[in-house]
Amino acid sequence: MATPSHSIPSDRMAVLFAVMLVAAAGNTAMQSILPAIGTELKIPDVWVSLAFSWSALLWVLTAPHWARQSDKRGRKALMALGVIGFLSSMALCGLVLWAGLKGLVGAGITFIIFALFRSLYGGLGSAAPPAVQAYVASRTDPEQRTQALSLVSSSFGIGTVIGPAVAPYFILPVVGMAGPMLIFALIGLIVLIMLRWRLPNDTPRFAARGAIAPYPLSAGPNEPSGEEENDPSAPVQESLSWRDTRVRPWLLAGFLGGQAQAMMIGVIGFLILDRLHLRGDPKTAAGLTGTVLMASAFATLLAQWGLIPLFRMTPRPTVLWGAALAICGILMTGLAQDLHGIIIGFALASLGFGLFRPGFTAGASLSVPRRDQGAVAGMTASINGSAYIISPAIGVLLYNWHAMVAYGLMAGFCGWLAIWGWSALKPNQPGT
């Protein structure tokens, strides 16, 4: 007798898609407006950047814990926890920033309280993505699982496009630039109601742990997670050392490119304020920052969903070409004096990083056999997330000293990656 096929109904997949999408969209929406809010409050640029660094650090530290909790506490419960963390953080951050912008609270106190409320997103929001992926993996058969996991993973990337695109439209008359955060909190509440109403409590057919999602920023789609750790017959994973010569070059490549990308994203809002002379008009700057970040995300989508599959690019040339394009885009952005130049340069750099990221991820994966896929996935997630802890703040500090010092350092990271990677990165032989 044939085994019945198992898949997730479309209405439930829509809920899972929404959970992933809203978390990424809300964060990138905040990213597009926060430099303008900091200018309005007369907060030093570096402190604005550190607010994101703090949230990213918490995400990196807590995500592995929530991934392990997926089996113990139930996937629906972890999804709900992540959404509650997201909407609570958005609502409270929006309210405190509104109070600060209205002069009800001092600027310094406003930003301290804001950073505390960001902790809810960094500490709890990371619970949702692995729970969603584990829910899908445990309720689908292998033939449907890859497509389903790719769908929910791509929603994270689509969210990075939607967030900056819609944020300027949520700057409302009464609440001003706090509007996008309050609107996304409301959207998060709607998603939570959908989650409670449409998704049944999970009693998975077998244990499955979702992949740890990197901190969501305007970097385009995440690579679909591997399913080795979700295979009920898979052997126990062995420990893989960070010093393993097979994987070390790819991880170092990820570190170098990741620092450059994190700095570029951290600085762009302040560059727009200064090059377009908008320090006195932060609302306009917020809208233009959203436009630039949206162009960046579309360029990344073009690289990851267009160029890589079209030309069937393998990891080594993907990383090297990505680094070369990123150098050109970074320097063009740093030298640009108008909006058109900034958009073209930033999009070109994002196209390069859109090639680089899946290239180094795939290269690391192909450098080790199947039994080590879980370990190498954790390593690449750590590399991706750690870049956003301190590098954006360093980039802003250097930018405030001299713009081309910051952009020169970004280009230097990519240049080192291209020159060193030419000899250090070897063509992969899967499973060796």
Query: Under DSSP, is residue 410 helix (H, G, I), strand (E, B) or coil?
Result: helix
Task: Give residue 130's pLDDT.
Answer: 79
Average pLDDT over the chain reads 84
Q: What pLDDT does 160 receive?
A: 76
What is the per-residue pLDDT for 204? 47
Whole-number pLDDT of residue 54? 85
pLDDT at 20: 86
What confidence tens digit (pLDDT) does each residue in 39-84 have?
Answer: 999 999 998 888 878 888 888 888 778 877 776 778 899 999 999 9
Tell me the percentage of the chain whose pLDDT exceeds 90: 45
For the segment 93-121, the average pLDDT, to the nearest whole number, is 92
Share of the chain above pLDDT 70, in %: 85
Q: How confident is the model at residue 150 (pLDDT cuts 50, 70, 90)?
A: low
pLDDT value, residue 283: 87
Strongest mean pLDDT among 66-80, 121-135, 162-176, 185-199:
185-199
Contacts of 203 (CB under 8 A, 6+ apart): none
pLDDT at 8: 80
Cβ atoms 262, 391 nearer than 8 A = yes
Whether residue 277 contacts residue 287, with contact meaning beta carbons closer than 8 Å, is answered with: no
State which H helix or E strand residue 34 sits in.
helix 10-41
Those residues whose C-beta lies under 8 Å from the C-beta of residue 173, and which sit 6 or more positions away, are: none
Nearest alpha-carbon partner for 419 in 312, 327, 345: 327
Burial profile 152-184: b = 16 or more Cβ within 10 angstroms, e = fewer:
bbbbbbbbbbbbbbbbbebbeeebbbbbbbbbb
Q: Which distant-in-sequence residues (6+ apart) come within 8 Å of 373 by Cβ? A: 226, 228, 229, 237, 365
Question: Could you tell me if 407 and 334 are in contact, meaning their C-beta atoms sit under 8 angstroms apart?
Answer: yes
User: 45-73 and 248-275 are packed helices; what angle lies between their axes, rounded to 10 degrees?
Assistant: 140
Q: How confident is the model at residue 101 (pLDDT cuts 50, 70, 90)?
A: very high
The answer to whether residue 288 scores a pLDDT higher than 90 is yes
pLDDT digits over 328-361, tens only? Answer: 999 999 999 999 999 999 999 999 998 998 888 8
Query: Does residue 355 contact residue 321 with C-beta atoms inside 8 Å?
Result: yes
CB 323 within 8 A of CB 414: yes
Residue located via tokens 């750690």? 386
| pLDDT at position 219 over 70 | no
Rounded to two decimals, what is the model's pTM? 0.81
Name the residue with tokens 């309005």.
Answer: 40
Please list the alpha-helical segments (H only) found in 245-372.
248-275, 282-301, 308-311, 315-335, 339-366
pLDDT per residue over 221-247, tens digit each? 555 444 444 444 555 545 778 888 899
Query: 396 falls in which pLDDT band (50, 70, 90)?
Result: very high
pLDDT number for residue 327? 98
CA-to-CA separations, 129 to 151, 304, 420, 426, in angstroms, rounded = 13, 20, 34, 32
Query: Average pLDDT of 358-386?
Result: 78
User: How high is the pLDDT of residue 152?
Assistant: 74
